[in-house]
Structure 1
Amino acid sequence: MQEKIEMKVSLMVYPSQDWSEEDRKLVEMAKEIMFKAHAPYSDFLVGASLLLENGEKLMANNQENVSFPVGVCAERAVLSYAMANYPKSRPVKIVISAKKRFGERFATVTPCGLCRQTINEYEIKFQAPIQVMMLAPDGNLLVAEGIEQLLPFRFNDLNS
């Protein structure tokens, strides 16, 4: 007999008036670093800021390469830096902002599949969800309370 497996996923919408001071700082960091992205081929700028459990706030941006597959997303760049330099400090939340270089508005961007799986890796390592916050064109934050909300059937365990 066939069985259906369903998972419910959801994002919360946080208007700017509901942001904490910490969230405001992380959004500003993501926007600031976004404008320094190396994106000469797509002109699509992405910035990411990351809060670690130890209070450190880090940021990175996308880095394109003429050989497209070897570029690095902002999310993976900031997580890689964090884990290389603060390997024992759990990532608590990541904020993502994006826009076309000459565009007027921000773009709604969720992490790509590689970035989602990378976030999942650190949720596994630290046994805790990482809040994923994405800046929307209307100025709100779209918030996932863990990568399961963006990657419900993720690749989790090689031993199961």
Structure 2
Amino acid sequence: MKEVKIETELKVYDDVSELPTDVQELMKSALEARENAYAPYSKFKVGAAIYLDNNEVVIGSNQENASYPSGLCAERTAIYYAGAKHPNAKILKMALTASSQNQITDTPIPPCGACRQAIAEYEIKQNQPIEIYFMGAKGKVVKSNSLANLLPLGFDRSFL
């Protein structure tokens, strides 16, 4: 038997104002996208903004449906749109923000498992890491240099 230790490294900013200017702008786009979320059931709104290597910004917000799980998370809405609209562009950075009408969300909220898997697919496809910044409605922002930090031992096409 061999014991393996997996470590991850993340940066934590006290608030959006500490982020580089370009990431502040990307987070602003994510905040605006969050306002367009359709979340009448969970009351949990999420916005995502993606910066591509062609200088385009693609946004997405979660879209719920009374027939769970027919809705789609903000991250996958944005990443799939980026793939459809800009199939040859690489995703450089993602900014994510989430808020709840039921409670204060001042803790950074990372992507769910399904979204992590979708982001991992694009990171592998482009053979380049994606910077991911995530936060709640306010407060601290976490930065991961790669999805691999958030999903160690990920499942990919090499297993197929």
- Normalising by the residue count of structure 1, what TM-score does the alignment of the two structures yield? 0.91
Paired residue secondary structure (1:77): helix
* Paired positions, count: 159
Paired residue secondary structure (2:64): coil
1:101, distance to aligned residue in structure 2 (A): 2.9
Structure 2 spans left out of the alignment, 5+ residues: none
What is the correspondence of 1:60-139 to structure 2 with a 5 Å cutoff? 60-101=60-101, 103=103, 105-136=105-136, 139=139
Contact 2:63–2:71 under 8 Å retained in 1: yes
Alignment of 1:7 onto 2:38: no
- Normalising by the residue count of structure 2, what TM-score does the alignment of the two structures yield? 0.91
1:87, distance to aligned residue in structure 2 (A): 0.6
1:14, distance to aligned residue in structure 2 (A): 2.3
Distance 2:102 2:32 in 1: 15
Q: Report the equivalent of 1:43.
A: 43
Contact 2:105–2:136 under 8 Å retained in 1: no
Distance 2:114 2:105 in 1: 25
Alignment root-mean-square deviation, CA: 1.7
Q: Render the CA deviation track for 1:13-47: whole Å, top value 9, x for unaligned.
A: 12434322211111111111101100010110000
Task: Give 1:82's aligned amino acid.
Answer: A
Contact 2:108–2:140 under 8 Å retained in 1: no
Decide whether aligned partners of structure 1 residues 101 and 127 sit closer, same or farther in structure 2, where only a CA change above 3 A counts: same
Structure 1 spans left out of the alignment, 5+ residues: none
